[in-house]
Structure 1
């Protein structure tokens, strides 16, 4: 028996090109502009209308639309434009060493790096390493979390929509309460993290009702998978103390700590890696988006020794036709050169955050805005109602002024986010804030 689509679904479907599967277009910015060129932090559509990119390809475009990255990478890859998948290259060895150096400086211990295609594949790789050490025990993650939509990672992500069409039941997953102190029903009146939340964490593995086996169980906890900031879950920044308590307790139960840095890695939250903001001590790190500035798919997994040692994770444990793709590796190599040329990035991001906070002061005064929070290169604007899609549509309209592309998610309909390329100038940050303020003013007139 088939179910007829709703009127809203049918209306949206009419806007999708006839030969295009619409599954990945849920966040398409209205109006559905068709872009033809880009420069810096700007996009231009087929009618040459101008748009400011305030969501940086969901955090991938740290360096903006920098054609020089593409040109330099192509020049590096030209000597070997294709390479058989089971052949090694000096470029791949160099890139892995450079990535390992960055992770090891941040964590303080040696480890090994594996490369993959996208973020979901990186999470799957991380949990293969977990399984090699901890078996198929339950995986802990947070309500509101997002770790991909592949047949495996969809089971870790919060939304039931991601599991609507899946070929298998998935791993055993235990979801911990949504770690946003701002919306937690147990939050004390003076703010902060309630002692009851800490007590709940301490009960994991001691009370069977919570579904987590104890430290001595034959099939114990496998891992905790955590985002330093919940992207799809509404750009919520968890309480650092609470995260550390959860991680410490999971480790006491025998589980490994996997940090998903796909969105937060490379200074999006200020420090080089989001886990540094919280003082977490990861066993495994997954990074992706900003490593290639959105030019090509690529992810990597770092695991502290000896988790990915060949004796435990031997040749043949994983394989990917494009893991040694010279073009992707050349892009990463070029992007890493950019980071190497920005030695004061953490300090610069503190200034970026101050400018973003100052520019949004006028926005925070709007009646339709409940709060504005800035962390590193991301601003979270919480509205007084489920108006995120309306604000995005108004901001994206490029008529008398540039359009502004904002981020929002279906799981948090009252939140929009501004996280532009980290090279956005002060003048453009202020212009983005002006366009957003105009859109909120128009929304107030509508409601």
Structure 2
């Protein structure tokens, strides 16, 4: 055996690794030019040892920070016991996970999946099956009403009801059966719902669109309308749920309980992909063996980590932190309005910040913040998103806001 060459054994720099991705990875992402190698809590470190404050938290997948001790312990403990059986057999962790998650959300039954997009696809299937079996909609006539500017994932069916042409262009033909109405418009929703409607599927807060918060009363109005019209209210809380907004679920800000809840991201604790459809028994009870499934959905490792996530949320600590620190975030952003920030929307530890386009695009502002040791991500135009781990301190939050103020001042 020949000795390895120097080129194959030397430590690869961030620039080396970024260049190495180019020919071998599909170009479906445009990451910021930082290569993360280690992380703890609210901080990440690149391969050269530079530290950054994580103000994105994996789009809420890291609500409890990087490598939360309780979650890491749960994963390690389960790794020593059992990782996968498939759903061909029962496993000893799944019942407890489902029981705790149903109790946390105030619903009855759980359908475990892996990714957020899988949860949405599963929710669509369940809503249609319910429409045929329970509501009595004629075969293949069920419709689902969704909101413009939504983001529910990027699978073929989901992009069929997206209004983002970047997500849609080149991927047709599209799945029929969806009606799109403006977000935050109850009159338009009322007009779109008819006897064929299986469900109204919305995000309680639209994340990808720029953390768009509906008017007070909108969610309660959706709940009343769907109940009156005899269709399901499906709430996609994959980004907004599990503590992010200062409540366990964003719908709780209006004391609303949907028929179907879609969860993901933070449910896996930033360790494994875990998602779930959680619903009333009448709804999820329509599924029969063979009609839906997932090899990895509900696997013992995922169930162990998911249970540990639920245990953290049961204490209420993270919801309180998000609510209290959300005040710090809102106050800090309010001070920047007129100083490079043209407006913002915030709920809990989640904000969409509109930067004066004259100062740069959202991508450019994100890159400048990266050079200041703060990681955020842009969305459309000159809007950036802030969604730090719920473990962040007030001091760290103020430091990030200070970095944003500096970047905007230098740009101006």
TM-score range, shorter chain: 0.7 to 0.9
Q: Which residue of structure 2 aligns with residue 369 of structure 1?
A: 341
1:317-396 equivalent positions in 2, closer than 5 A: 317-340=291-314, 342-366=315-339, 368-385=340-357, 387-396=361-370
**Matched-pair contact (CA < 8 Å) for 1:74–1:327:** no
How high is the TM-score relative to the length of structure 2?
A: 0.87
Cα distance change on mapping 1:301 and 1:138 into 2, 3 Å = same
> Quick check: 1:98 aligned with 2:100?
yes
Query: d(CA) in 1 for partners of 2:250 and 2:122?
Result: 20
Q: Which residue of structure 2 aligns with residue 403 of structure 1?
A: 373
Q: Which residue of structure 2 aligns with residue 51 of structure 1?
A: 52
Query: d(CA) in 2 for partners of 1:199 and 1:45?
Result: 49
Q: Which residue of structure 2 aligns with residue 421 of structure 1?
A: 389
Q: Which residue of structure 2 aligns with residue 227 of structure 1?
A: 203
How high is the TM-score relative to the length of structure 1?
A: 0.80
> Quick check: 1:152 aligned with 2:157?
yes
> Quick check: 1:134 aligned with 2:134?
no
Large movers: runs of 4+ above 6 Å: none
CA offsets 1:383-415 (integer angstroms, 9 cap, x no match): 232621111111011xxxx52111321xx2131
State the 1:157 CA deviation: 2.8
Equivalent pairs counted in the alignment come to: 384
Q: Write 1 or 2 for the structure with the bigger share of helix.
A: 2
CA offsets 1:242-296 (integer angstroms, 9 cap, x no match): 3433443344333211000100111111111011123433110010111112211
Cα distance change on mapping 1:85 and 1:354 into 2, 3 Å = same
**Matched-pair contact (CA < 8 Å) for 1:293–1:335:** yes
Give unmatched runs, 5+ long, in structure 1.
1-12, 105-109, 180-196, 205-211
SS in 1 for 2:381: strand
Give unmatched runs, 5+ long, in structure 2.
1-17, 133-140
SS in 2 for 1:231: coil
**Matched-pair contact (CA < 8 Å) for 1:112–1:303:** yes
What is the CA RMSD across the aligned residues, in angstroms? Answer: 2.2
Q: Which residue of structure 1 aligns with residue 11 of structure 2?
A: none
SS in 2 for 1:436: helix
State the 1:306 CA deviation: 1.1
Q: Which residue of structure 1 aligns with residue 137 of structure 2?
A: none
Query: d(CA) in 2 for partners of 1:162 and 1:70?
Result: 35
Q: Which residue of structure 1 aligns with residue 81 of structure 2?
A: 79
